[in-house]
Amino acid sequence: MRPGFFLKEAIRSMRRNPAPSFAALSCVLVTTLVLGVFIPVVQATNGAANSIRGRVVVDVDLNTTATPAETARVRSEVQHARYAGHVELVSKQAGYEQERKLNPQAFQLIGYNPLPDILRITPSNPDQADALRAELDQSSPTGTRLVTDSAIAAVQNRQAQTDKILSATRIVKITMALLAALLVFSSMLLVSNTIRLSLFSRRREVEVMKLVGATDWFIRWPFVIEGLFLGALGGVCAIGLLALAKITLIDPLASTVKLISQPAMIDFRLLVVVLMACAIAVSAAGSGISLRRFLRV
Partner 1 sequence: MPTPDSDILRREAPRRRALPARARRGVPAHPVAAPPRPANTPNANTVVEFRGVTKRYDSGDVGLERATFAIDRQEFVFLVGSTGSGKSTIMRLLIKELDPTEGVIRVAGRDLAQIERKRVPYYRRNVGVVFQDFKLLPTRTVYDNIAYALQVTGASRKQIRASLPDVLRLTGLSTKLHNYPHQLSGGEQQRVAVARAFASHPPLLLADEPTGNLDPDTSIGIMQLLYRINRAGTTVVVATHDNEMVDKMRRRVIELRRGRIVRDEATGLYAQDETTGDLAERLKRETNAPEPADRPRGGTRR
Tell me if 216 contacts partner 1 by CB under 8 A: yes
Q: Which of 46, 218, 254, 272 binds partner 1 (CB under 8 A)?
A: 218
The one-letter code for the residue type at 207 is: E
Give yes or no for residue 16 binding partner 1 (CB under 8 A). Answer: yes
Give the nearest distance from C-beta 236 to partner 1 in angstroms.
Answer: 26
Give whichever of 107 and 229 is closer to partner 1, judged by the CB atom.
229
The interface mask with partner 1, positions 174-213, x = CB under 8 A, is ------------------------------xx-xxxxxxx
122 counts as binding partner 1 under rule CB under 8 A: no
Instruction: Give the binding range for partner 1 (CB under 8 A) out of 8-16, 150-158, 190-198, 274-282.
Output: 8-16
Contact 187, 31 (CB under 8 A): yes
Q: Which residues pair with 88 in a beta bridge?
A: 120
Q: Does 17 bind partner 1 (CB under 8 A)?
A: yes
CB-based contacts of 85, cutoff 8 Å, min separation 6: 121, 122, 123, 124
Q: At closest approach, how far in Å is the CB of 1 from partner 1?
A: 8
- Examine residue 22 and tell whether it contacts partner 1 (CB under 8 A): no
Count, residues near partner 1 per rule CB under 8 A: 21
Nearest to 290 by CA among 207, 192, 202, 221: 192
| Residue 87 near residue 78 (C-beta atoms within 8 A) | yes
> Which residues does residue 138 pair with via DSSP β-bridges, in sequence order?
146
Binding site for partner 1 (CB under 8 A): 1-2, 5, 12-13, 16-17, 204-205, 207-216, 218, 297
